[in-house]
Structure 1
Amino acid sequence: MENSMLQTCTDLIKNAKNIVVLTGAGISTESGIKDFRSQTGIYKMAPEYILSLDYFYNQPKAFYQFAVENLYHPEAQPNKGHEILAKWEEDGKVSHIITQNIDGLHQKAGSINVIEFHGTMKTASCRNCNKVYKTEEMISRLKSIDDFYICNACSTHNEKDRYIKPDVVLFGDTGEWFTMDGFNEIINIIHQADCLLVLGTSLKVTPFSTFPQYGREGTPLVIINKGDSPYDGTENTYVIHDSIGETISKINIGLNPSLL
């Protein structure tokens, strides 16, 4: 990375008092979690329809097998990037993290104000009565009950209405934040930011990709991501194509020289 750009981004973050962070798979790959869309991503192994609502309803057992093997990572630990963001939140510099990730690593690192835009793999819920099951319980049911994905806490005429779905947003699905109220809350959070920090996302998947557009005019957009994004080269945008953990660590030292 160029030292001048690193210094510019360090200065922007140093002067900011209300940073809103947008994160994607790139921050979690440094914790050993495979991403989806890169050259080595999960979509090289399976097409997107496996992560669709239709596939979940048509092949619930196969869906769960895939989801548990590829989307659930309870052993994964936060990396430097997660830890520094949590410290910046504790220091009052970061106000919110809005993430595409479903791994819970931001919370594991200590971040509190986290919006999981695409949901979480920690739990699953009955589509009828909304009973919440921990994913560990669903894995146990998978090993011991044939129709493990059918809720036994309620009853409906149609069994599919009682399917227990992981609390992630699938293709063709809607989530907690995919509502008018949810969108408006996110837009309001972004509009109040005095700096937007994007980490590990190409910003090519809607509607998440639209979020930087809701920043106030003149609000700096700092992007740290190994790949390109549609925002690269736009006004008030500062881009570093490098490792998130390494870059954030250098910026953090710039904020706190005593760490040297």
Structure 2
Amino acid sequence: MDSNIEICTNLIGKAKNILVLTGAGISTESGIKDFRSKTGVYQMAPEYVLSLDYFFQHPAEFYRFAMEHLYHPDAIPNKGHEILAKWEVQGKVQHIITQNIDGLHQKGGSKNVIEFHGTMKTSSCLHCGKIYLTEEMVSRIQTMADFYVCSYCKTKREMDRYIKPDVVLFGDAGEWFSTKGFNTIIDLIDQADCILVLGTSLKVTPFSTFPQYRRKDVPLIIINKADTPYDHEAGTYVIHDSIGESLTQIDRKLCGSVDVFER
């Protein structure tokens, strides 16, 4: 472990354009449940509950499940989020691409964040595009029977006026799933001189394919408690431990080596 920390510290110290890929593992350290573990969200209900079909068939039930299990307004960023924000200010981390919908990277101070699976911060009318803050949706749930129907547009078919959380559901396609969005991400990966993967097992496509697009000489650093399909590839360095603790150790070593950033 110590040798891997040393190697990763050296790689991160030399890097000037780090691209970070994050998954549920960084948010679990802020008390948010992941999806597929033994204590994850999918132990409460099948994946189908978070599908576009289920949303249209049972909008009220969908919202109640989402608000209980996906909306975490009181969660606060942990050391992992804070260190990534610090490295962004220092000019080392250029972009974060996250599977998470909790907004903790932004709360932690990061600015250049691509929310690949969307966000629970807002919901939008599928017809007119009217944006509702999630706090407003919570109030609507408590006071209106058809809270999920937009109050502003007048199209005839009620289902066309459904207000959908701005997250990517199964059977759905978000902003970054378009050709333009995907190509933007591939370009960012191609420009990076280090790829840092945090808290994802890299098993869910298309997010799992992103490390494949890095240049051959670019190191891949993975900090995740579970194995990933990339663990034994050339140029890959793996730490199976806490993200917050691992990044804290690396950051302390970087701070203790005045010339690390200048090598």
Calculate the TM-score normalised by the size of structure 2.
0.97
Paired residue secondary structure (1:4): helix
The reply on whether 1:201 has 2:200 as its aligned counterpart is yes
Residue identity in the other structure for 1:95: Q
Q: Distance in 1 between matches of 2:138 and 2:222?
A: 37
- Residue in 2 aligned with 1:215? 214
1:192-222 deviation per Cα after TM superposition (whole angstroms, max 9, x unaligned): 0000000000000000000001111111000
**How far does residue 258 in structure 1 lie from its aligned partner after superposition?**
7.7
Task: Structure 2: give runs of 5+ residues left out of the alignment.
Answer: 259-263
Task: Structure 1: give runs of 5+ residues left out of the alignment.
Answer: none
Residue identity in the other structure for 2:195: L
Q: Distance in 2 between matches of 1:38 and 1:225?
A: 13
- Residue in 2 aligned with 1:126? 125
Alignment of 1:160-239 (within 5 A): 160-239=159-238
**How far does residue 76 in structure 1 lie from its aligned partner after superposition?**
0.2
- Residue in 1 aligned with 2:22? 23
1:190–1:258 Cα change, 3 Å: closer
**How far does residue 161 in structure 1 lie from its aligned partner after superposition?**
0.6
Q: Distance in 2 between matches of 1:39 and 1:201?
A: 15
Q: Distance in 1 between matches of 2:114 and 2:60?
A: 29
Residue identity in the other structure for 1:228: D
1:115-149 deviation per Cα after TM superposition (whole angstroms, max 9, x unaligned): 00000000000000000000000010011010000
Paired residue secondary structure (1:247): helix
Q: Which aligned segments of 4 or more residues in structure 1 are displaced greater than 3 angstroms?
A: none
Residue identity in the other structure for 1:186: I
Alignment of 1:1-260 (within 5 A): 2-257=1-256
Q: Distance in 2 between matches of 1:158 and 1:49?
A: 24
**How far does residue 170 in structure 1 lie from its aligned partner after superposition?**
0.2
Residue identity in the other structure for 1:62: E
Q: Distance in 1 between matches of 2:80 and 2:5?
A: 16
1:57-104 deviation per Cα after TM superposition (whole angstroms, max 9, x unaligned): 000000000000000000000000000000000000000000000000
Q: Distance in 2 between matches of 1:130 and 1:178?
A: 19
Number of aligned positions between the proteins: 258
**How far does residue 38 in structure 1 lie from its aligned partner after superposition?**
1.2
Residue identity in the other structure for 1:215: R
1:135-171 deviation per Cα after TM superposition (whole angstroms, max 9, x unaligned): 0000100110100000011011211110000000000
Paired residue secondary structure (1:101): coil
| Superposition RMSD in Å | 1.0
Residue identity in the other structure for 1:146: A
Q: Distance in 2 between matches of 1:39 and 1:5?
A: 28
Residue identity in the other structure for 2:104: L
1:40-66 deviation per Cα after TM superposition (whole angstroms, max 9, x unaligned): 111111100000000000000000000
**How far does residue 257 in structure 1 lie from its aligned partner after superposition?**
1.4
Residue identity in the other structure for 1:179: S
Percent identity, aligned pairs only, is 70
